[in-house]
Amino acid sequence: MTDIELDSYKEKQMKRRIDSLMSTKGYSDYFHFVRALKDNEELLQEFIEYITINVSEFYRNPEQWDYFEKEILPKYLAKERIKIWSAGCSTGDEPYTIAMILLKYRKKSEFGIIATDIDEKAIRMAKTGEYGDKSLSHLPAEYRSYFTKDEKGKNLISSDLKRLVTFQKQNLFKDPYPRNVDLLVCRNALIYFTEEKKAEIFVQFHKSLNPGGILFLGNTEQMINYRETGFERIAPFFYLKK
């Protein structure tokens, strides 16, 4: 019915979300709710969107992006061409943020960005590139030129920027991971997974990165056993593949 492995998520948090959706939709027991999910494609899609929790915005946690620009980009990502993977990219705010920052220092031909997420609706929104004002609330003024307003008040990202990011659906527990990556950005996408599943993902992230590659996590996440996984912690939320 769906590729999502619910046992990969923290049980209490996931149960709260499912119970909340069931209550909203008028279901009192799991049996009838599951049967409805099998029979109703629209409800199934809503269920997937609800439990995958797509919360994103441009330049989220500005101090981390400032550090990335000033310390990580010049010291660790100075090679001729940079391959970037944004995992759990949601509606595209994050990979587009990366593209805007990189364009200050590199030509378009000098980097490539792959962005993945399990939620097909989020991927479609990312490809469309339409955002509300809240998504841009932390975006510095220097990047606002990449957007234009339409007649409905939506912020439309430029076609030139959209062409720099390749979006595709991916399930982190089933699908192949990109390889030979120089920068892997996965921010606030793993917080609902169990510690065991996160450890498995970090091992796969390590395999995806080139030696000297950087893993950039969100401010709600940390890698506890990073040394055993083969990483060096070079700053809060930034890890170097040895």
Query: Is the residue at 153 inside a domain?
Result: yes
- For residue 235, pLDDT over 50 is answered with yes
Residue 57 lies inside a defined structural domain of this protein: no
Q: Is residue 120 part of a domain?
A: yes
Residue tagged 């996440």 (tokens): 221
* Whether residue 69 sits in one domain with residue 177: yes
Q: Which domain holds residue 88?
A: 62-241
User: 116 with 204, same domain?
Assistant: yes
Do 48 and 124 lie in a common domain? no
Judge if 178 and 226 occupy the same domain.
yes
For residue 221, being part of any structural domain is answered with yes
Claim to verify: residue 90 and residue 201 sit in the same structural domain? yes
CATH (domain of 217)? 3.40.50.150
Q: What is the pLDDT of residues 96-155, one digit of tens each?
A: 999 999 999 999 999 999 999 988 889 999 999 999 999 999 999 999 999 999 999 999
Q: What pTM value is reported for the model?
A: 0.80
Q: Is the residue at 214 inside a domain? A: yes
Residue-wise pLDDT tens digits, 160-188: 999 999 999 999 999 999 999 999 999 98
Residue 240: CA count within 13 A, CB half-sphere: 13
CA dist., res. 206 & res. 241, Å (int)? 7
Domain count for the chain: 2
**Per-residue pLDDT tens digits for 16-29:** 667 766 777 787 78
Give me the pLDDT at residue 215, please. 98
What is the predicted pLDDT for the residue at 8? 47
202/226 Cα distance (integer angstroms): 8
The confidence score (pLDDT) of residue 194 equals: 85
- Contact between residue 197 and residue 167 where contact means Cβ atoms under 8 Å apart: no
27 and 123 share one domain: no
Show the 3-state SS of the chain. CCCCCHHHECHHHHHHHHHHHHHHHCCCCHHHHHHHHHHCHHHHHHHHHHHHCCCCCCCCCHHHHHHHHHHHHHHHCCCCCEEEEEECCCCCHHHHHHHHHHCCCCCHHHEEEEEEECCHHHHHHHHHCEECHHHHCCCCHHHHHHEEECCCCCEEECHHHHCCEEEEECCCCCCCCCCCEEEEEECCCCCCECHHHHHHHHHHHHHHEEEEEEEEECCCCCCCCHHHHCEEEEECCEEEEC
Dist CA 231 CA 134 (whole Å): 35
- Same domain as 149, residue 44: no
List phi, psi (to 5°) of 181: -90, 140
1 domain residue, yes or no:
no
Alpha-carbon span 93 to 60, nearest angstrom: 9
